[in-house]
Amino acid sequence: TLESSQTLTTKNMNSYLLVLSGALVFFMQAGFAMLCAGSVRRKNTQNTMLKNLLDACGAAVAFFFVGYAFAFGGDRVSGGGPSDPNRTGSTFLGAEQFVGTGDIDLPFYFFQYTFTAASVTIVAGTLAERCQMAAYLCYSFFLTGFIYPVVAHAGWSNYGFLSPANSNPLLGIGMIDFSGSGIVHLTGGTTALYATYILGSRRGRFYDATTGRPLDVPKPFPGHSVSLQMLGSFILWFGWFGFNPGTALLLVDNPYQAEIGALCAVNTFLASSAGCISALVIKMFLRHRQTGEFSFDLVAAMNGALTGLVSITAGCATVEPWAAIIVGLVGGALYLGASDLLIKCKIDDAVDAVPVHGVGGIWGLLSVGLLSAPERVRQAYGTNEHPGFFYSLSEGHSDASLLGCQVLGTLFICGWTLVTMLPFFLWLNFMGWFRCESVQELVGLDIAYNLGASHHGDAFKGEDEDVKE
Amino acid sequence: TLESSQTLTTKNMNSYLLVLSGALVFFMQAGFAMLCAGSVRRKNTQNTMLKNLLDACGAAVAFFFVGYAFAFGGDRVSGGGPSDPNRTGSTFLGAEQFVGTGDIDLPFYFFQYTFTAASVTIVAGTLAERCQMAAYLCYSFFLTGFIYPVVAHAGWSNYGFLSPANSNPLLGIGMIDFSGSGIVHLTGGTTALYATYILGSRRGRFYDATTGRPLDVPKPFPGHSVSLQMLGSFILWFGWFGFNPGTALLLVDNPYQAEIGALCAVNTFLASSAGCISALVIKMFLRHRQTGEFSFDLVAAMNGALTGLVSITAGCATVEPWAAIIVGLVGGALYLGASDLLIKCKIDDAVDAVPVHGVGGIWGLLSVGLLSAPERVRQAYGTNEHPGFFYSLSEGHSDASLLGCQVLGTLFICGWTLVTMLPFFLWLNFMGWFRCESVQELVGLDIAYNLGASHHGDAFKGEDEDVKE
Amino acid sequence: TLESSQTLTTKNMNSYLLVLSGALVFFMQAGFAMLCAGSVRRKNTQNTMLKNLLDACGAAVAFFFVGYAFAFGGDRVSGGGPSDPNRTGSTFLGAEQFVGTGDIDLPFYFFQYTFTAASVTIVAGTLAERCQMAAYLCYSFFLTGFIYPVVAHAGWSNYGFLSPANSNPLLGIGMIDFSGSGIVHLTGGTTALYATYILGSRRGRFYDATTGRPLDVPKPFPGHSVSLQMLGSFILWFGWFGFNPGTALLLVDNPYQAEIGALCAVNTFLASSAGCISALVIKMFLRHRQTGEFSFDLVAAMNGALTGLVSITAGCATVEPWAAIIVGLVGGALYLGASDLLIKCKIDDAVDAVPVHGVGGIWGLLSVGLLSAPERVRQAYGTNEHPGFFYSLSEGHSDASLLGCQVLGTLFICGWTLVTMLPFFLWLNFMGWFRCESVQELVGLDIAYNLGASHHGDAFKGEDEDVKE
């Protein structure tokens, strides 16, 4: 009949668009790999990219066996209500549909896999140049198989205690994290922070490589190829247009689906651009105060754009375009501050993933609580009772329900990763499995683990000054 | 009801496909960045890519604040007729919907932003290796905020004097520039020409770096990485499948939409391939005559393909596949001729953007006037009264209305950029803000502006022969 | 009417999604180019990429003039039945719709072009660093214009003798090669094998470059950039999400279309991940037995992932997700074995395309015969009478019809390319047109054919140890 044919067309369309959006998100793996490869010294290129590659592959296996089941098992994944009208309330974990069994919504399955893979690989760059392969693989499986699914379940599942799709959402609204500033990026970013804190800084970065005395000025370890960094950043940016608008495809019965998807795209380009400009300009003026000269810091600009992207990911469906620009501007500034703070604390992050994904993720969650427009919240979540705090203030109320949910969500994600990942990394470290040996770090992990140098004919010719120490 | 559900599905589909197509067009920024990075000497890599990055970000801001309003403010953007039945005629500029206000068609908004960003970044490569950052940023804002919107308004808005969507189109048909050979590429290409003419050639390219005497043979400044050039070209090519077929998504009530979109894709791959082969083969024979040996010029082949892509962009919806091959073949030949001519005129274009986007853009506009098939014009524009000139001739008429519109459009774009950009660049130059200092050019703009070299451990080791002068 | 509007929406959707999927497949050209560029020594980078570029362009021309007509001319391309109810049976070649004439289904046309281009460029890497340009171009035209179309006609056309869409399919079912493990990849892979066998190994690879005596240990010729190899692999992976799910868009009247498309995406990520892990782990243990140390081989991991992708391409629509993992695991292992075997046979494959595409292609075809689930076969092909052999066994039957078709298809593809390409390469070789001169190989093909080195300032500085021999 015409009606069934109509339903079929709609289903086909949603399904295919979700597959294509997921493909864009998958391509972000290439972005992370190129960004990491360009950000490390040449002698560690292979090793870093291998971690990115294995994140994608390990995430697939972990997701198939347990990750999906823990995150979304038993859910009615598309649409707003719980799968079983008799089943309500919150659970800590899903526990159905292991190893791809049961009636799985395949496009959703694919799309969620790509998110899992994105979350885990955020950490790869932070730990670059000094982490043992085996330890990294353990971390990778642990995060994708258990830690991330718990967060995704809490925030997105119909039975998650933070989820707005819960039949009885937290504070009447739940945490709004539309595409995962918190669930995907903060989970990765905060894990990266704990990991690098335990792992320690790269040899010679903050402490003299021979005497171990703190350096007056941290030694910069610039990446070996800005072109690859730039390429990686642009690939990530491109993939984000699958990440954010793609999520709107999950709102299958929502009449505003098309508008929400397009709003996500518009907010995404505005916030990233604002973040880029903000980081570049602030950095320029800071440098000018220090040196008296204006200079342009390309890496700051790139990371500012990425922080803008991370920041808008939570609120891309619920803030207005002008607010997206504010989210981006603040995100770019926060990135610079956080990056400096890390260096002052002598915490070594080879790609600045903690400032970008961690701090950007927190700001993303909070900005939703401040700036979500009532009408946009209503379109995406079906209620406009709890808008962003500034909107509430401007109407003479002071409804901080949404902001409260966002704060609770932030604390949950930071706390959950703290109580699980911190002991895990401490244990790895205690066993001596976490950090590679000093000599391996000196010659480079490519030679130590990967049987050779990345750029043949180059690596032994003293082009990396570090080798000559 | 079934009907509203049907309407909704169609709307959702169009909206999402436009977002995905726009994402592909956005990814062209990465293509431009890689192409430019590979085409310059290593010492200028960062600086060049930063310009590409800031083009994307600056375009976003300018587009949001004023660009969209100037180009399409007040338009009914989807479909064929003017928004207000009582409002007809032409305007020079739109003047509504500044800063994202008003009832904006968000997918269209996103798609148009990506076009703006593409137009502005064409110039980055041409000016590489010698242009001051501040001057470039001024140019970038000026073009995206005002110059390009005027052209887009004229050619695509319902109130544009060249637009076929005008209620009373020029010569009864208007200028057909389906995806923007003229509006996007020629605007960028012709601006690049004026800019490089004022800016002057790179030090040592046509004149001896010390004495200033003209060189007998221009010194080639080959790019530092053909791999990056190739990657950039392929990314652009890929993005073009969002650029051309994506535009057909704007024909929302057109029953031939799907066919037009697919025709755009087919014509795109045929013209680019023909352009590549044409440029490669002609160059091979020219070299053979000069040197007696056959050799293959990869850069000519790549730029031939890009010129084919630019050339077919205007007519992708209105020429037959066989004609697309002709458009590409001629485009590749014109590229070679224009590239040689520029060198003879001692005009220095670091990435050959003027021959590719400028000359390719002109040929694209004119080829529509010559080769547009009546039936294809009817499907895309609703009238077949004014086909391409060759079709008219073959039917015994000599209707040059369409060709006339194309010529007028070409003149308008070249003239408009001439009267605005030329004085602007002259002023920049007069103030001493345009060209960087000689010593900056010598050490490379990465060190001059960007605090360091792109490839650490390389840049100071004399790999760039220029440094040793 | 509502019905026609509904039909139009469905058609538009299918058409556009096919164009976007085709664009992803086209982007695989960039993946091949980067993979090949990174896998060769620096002195051959340009030359290798030029071959990739010309494959894409030559394929376009050959496809337009004759390729499409030979492969699908006269077919009703969308849906299941033959175009003319009175016309049944099998033909060797199509012979209608040359040079784009006739009533062409344009989205299908574009999509099939991208497949042709993928097939031909598989060979480029294998022959890298020693093949003459002219010979390569001859091969490229011959394969895309004739050899590949015959295979595509046999396997996918309504009149192909192997095609399940044939009105009277082979053994009642025909060969199931959903997206082309055999038709695209095996055709390329087996051609690569014959070509490299005739062409001989690179100078110094298996035989001493001066004396010609066999080396005790083959000399590894590692690629000059692992970053480019990685980038290429990820781009290919990304493109595969157009390759496999995109093919399901051809099932226009199939009510399971959406589910099949998503299954293809899920199977694709599972098989590739399994292939990557399998190749990496097995290689690690083999190396451990040989050297006593664990090490991680990034190139093996990448090629394992690619082999997983090739292997699942035939069965992505007909095997369950758990079976996709098995397909990938076996694929990764077969890759390693085949790669070692080639080296033992002193057959030189610069990018391991024969193990990846050839052996992966064979395993892909056979795995369909073993592991296809009856219900999945029914959904995609309308009959579940002949499932995979293991399913048949588990139900107490031993129906090897499907497996038989797969074996016959494998033999046909290997045999057809053998009887056509082998004489062709022998003839090229006999005429002295195939292999470049020894001195050209020594200095590198970039200088020999392409007028210069790929990385200016590097190539003559002895960074490629080979130059110093």
Residues of B in contact with A273 (CB under 8 A): 56-61
Residue C390 has pLDDT above 60, yes or no: yes
A23 vs C24: CB contact, 8 Å cut-off? yes
Identify the CA nearest to A327 among candidates A407, A270, A280, A277: A270
| Over residues C270-289, mean pLDDT | 96
Q: What number of C-beta contacts closer than 8 Å exist between B and C?
A: 169
Interatomic CA distance for residues B55 and C59, integer angstroms: 35
C222 vs A452: CB contact, 8 Å cut-off? yes
Q: What is the ipTM of this complex?
A: 0.95
Residues of C in contact with A457 (CB under 8 A): 42, 224, 463-465
Which among C237, C258, C305 is the nearest to A16, CB-wise?
C258
A322 vs B99: CB contact, 8 Å cut-off? yes
Contact A123, A139 (CB under 8 A): yes
The phi, psi pair for C352, rounded to 5°, reads 55, 35
Helix (H, G, I), strand (E, B) or coil at A387: coil
Largest CA distance in chain C: 80
Q: Which two tokens stand for residue A153?
A: 């379940």
Q: Which two tokens stand for residue A263?
A: 């709003």
Q: Quote the pLDDT of residue B462.
A: 32
Which among B9, B269, B302 is the nearest to C53, CB-wise?
B302
3-state SS string for chain B = CHHHHHHHHHHHHHHHHHHHHHHHHHHHHHHHHHHHHHHCCHHHHHHHHHHHHHHHHHHHHHHHHHHHHHHHCCCCCCCCCCCCCCCCCCCCCCCCCHHHCCCCCHHHHHHHHHHHHHHHHHHHHHCCCCECHHHHHHHHHHHHHHHHHHHHHHHHCCCCCCCCCCCCCHHHCCCCCCCCHHHHHHHHHHHHHHHHHHHCCCCCCCECCCCCCECCCCCCCCCCCHHHHHHHHHHHHHHHHHHHHHHHCCCCCCCCHHHHHHHHHHHHHHHHHHHHHHHHHHHHHHHHHHHCCCCCCHHHHHHHHHHHHHHHHHHCCCCCHHHHHHHHHHHHHHHHHHHHHHHHCCCCCCCCHHHHHHHHHHHHHHHHHHHCCHHHHHHHHCCCCCCCHHHHHHCCCCCCHHHHHHHHHHHHHHHHHHHHHHHHHHHHHHCCCCECCHHHHHHCHHHHHHCCCCCCCCCCCCCCHHHHC
Interatomic CA distance for residues B46 and B359, integer angstroms: 28
Domains of chain B: 19-78+98-468 (1.10.3430.10)
Identify the CA nearest to C349 among candidates C113, C59, C128, C133: C128
Identify the CA nearest to C125 among candidates C208, C189, C200: C189
Q: Quote the pLDDT of residue B467.
A: 31
Residues of B in contact with C19 (CB under 8 A): 241, 245, 261-262, 265
A20 vs B20: CB contact, 8 Å cut-off? yes
- Closest-CA residue in chain B for A272? B57
Interatomic CA distance for residues A102 and B381, integer angstroms: 50
Q: Quote the pLDDT of residue A448.
A: 77
**Residue from C2, C6, C20, C133 whose CB has the most chain B CBs within 10 Å, to mutate:** C20
Identify the CA nearest to B193 among candidates B439, B367, B362: B362
Which among B223, B227, B234 is the nearest to C228, CB-wise?
B227
Residue C465 has pLDDT above 70, yes or no: no
Residue C451 has pLDDT above 80, yes or no: no
Residues of B in contact with A454 (CB under 8 A): none
Q: Which two tokens stand for residue B207?
A: 């004149």
How do residues C392-413 score in pLDDT, each as one tens digit?
Answer: 999 999 999 999 999 999 999 9
| Distance in Å, alpha carbon of A330 to nearest chain B alpha carbon | 15
Report chain A's mean pLDDT, rounded to a whole number. 90
Confidence grade of residue C464 (pLDDT, cut at 50, 70, 90): very low
A54 vs C322: CB contact, 8 Å cut-off? no
How do residues A320-340 score in pLDDT, each as one tens digit?
Answer: 999 999 999 999 999 999 999
Contact A191, A421 (CB under 8 A): yes
List residues bridging with A131 in a β-sheet.
A435
Residue A231 has pLDDT above 90, yes or no: yes
| Distance in Å, alpha carbon of B100 to nearest chain C alpha carbon | 29
Q: Residue C302 — left, alpha, or beta (φ > 0 → left; ψ -120 to 50 → alpha)?
A: alpha
Interatomic CA distance for residues C172 and C361, integer angstroms: 23
Range name among A21-25, A170-174, C444-448 with the lowest pLDDT average? C444-448
Q: Give per-residue burial for C31-54: e unless 16+ CB within 10 Å, then b.
A: bbbbbbbbbbbbbbbbbbbbbbbb
Q: Quote the pLDDT of residue A446.
A: 85
How do residues C50-104 score in pLDDT, each as one tens digit?
Answer: 999 999 999 999 999 999 999 998 876 544 444 455 567 888 998 888 988 888 8
Confidence grade of residue C454 (pLDDT, cut at 50, 70, 90): low
What residue type is assigned to position A214 of the chain?
A: P
**How would you write the pLDDT of chain B (469 residues) with one tens digit per residue?**
888 888 899 999 999 999 999 999 999 999 999 999 999 999 999 999 999 999 999 999 999 999 999 999 887 654 444 445 556 788 899 888 898 888 889 999 999 999 999 999 999 999 999 999 889 999 999 999 999 999 999 999 989 999 998 888 999 999 999 999 999 999 999 999 999 999 999 999 999 988 989 999 999 998 999 999 999 999 999 999 999 999 999 998 899 999 999 999 999 999 999 999 999 999 999 999 988 888 899 999 999 999 999 999 999 999 999 999 999 999 999 999 999 999 999 999 999 999 999 999 999 999 999 999 999 999 999 988 999 999 999 999 999 999 999 999 999 999 999 999 999 999 999 999 999 888 888 888 888 777 665 554 443 333 333 332 2
Interatomic CA distance for residues A401 and C160, integer angstroms: 65
Residue C335 has pLDDT above 80, yes or no: yes
Confidence grade of residue A80 (pLDDT, cut at 50, 70, 90): very low
C269 vs A27: CB contact, 8 Å cut-off? no
| Distance in Å, alpha carbon of A276 to nearest chain B alpha carbon | 7
| Distance in Å, alpha carbon of A125 to nearest chain B alpha carbon | 18
Q: Is residue A5 classed exposed, middle or buried when 0-12, 13-18 and 19+ CB atoms within 10 A define those classes?
A: middle
Largest CA distance in chain B: 80
| Distance in Å, alpha carbon of C375 to nearest chain B alpha carbon | 29
Q: Residue B346 — left, alpha, or beta (φ > 0 → left; ψ -120 to 50 → alpha)?
A: left
Interatomic CA distance for residues A73 and A85, integer angstroms: 16
Q: Quote the pLDDT of residue A2.
A: 85
Collect contacts of B131-134 with beta carbons under 8 A, ≥24 apart: B131/B51, B131/B199, B131/B434, B131/B435, B131/B436, B132/B433, B132/B434, B132/B435, B132/B436, B133/A296, B133/B47, B133/B50, B133/B51, B133/B449, B134/B433
**Residue from A11, A34, A234 whose CB has the most chain B CBs within 10 Å, to mutate:** A234
Contact A315, A176 (CB under 8 A): yes
How do residues A136-160 score in pLDDT, each as one tens digit?
Answer: 999 999 999 999 999 999 999 989 9
| Over residues C33-57, mean pLDDT | 94
C226 vs A29: CB contact, 8 Å cut-off? no
Identify the CA nearest to B69 among candidates B91, B54, B40, B87: B91
The conformation of residue A219, written as its DSSP 8-state character, comes to P
Helix (H, G, I), strand (E, B) or coil at A4: helix
Q: Quote the pLDDT of residue C459.
A: 34
Interatomic CA distance for residues C326 and C331, integer angstroms: 8
How do residues B182-241 score in pLDDT, each as one tens digit?
Answer: 999 999 999 999 999 999 999 999 999 889 899 999 999 989 999 999 999 999 999 999
Interatomic CA distance for residues B34 and B32, integer angstroms: 6
Residues of C in contact with B316 (CB under 8 A): none
| Distance in Å, alpha carbon of C11 to nearest chain A alpha carbon | 10
Residues of B in contact with C59 (CB under 8 A): 273
C269 vs A110: CB contact, 8 Å cut-off? yes
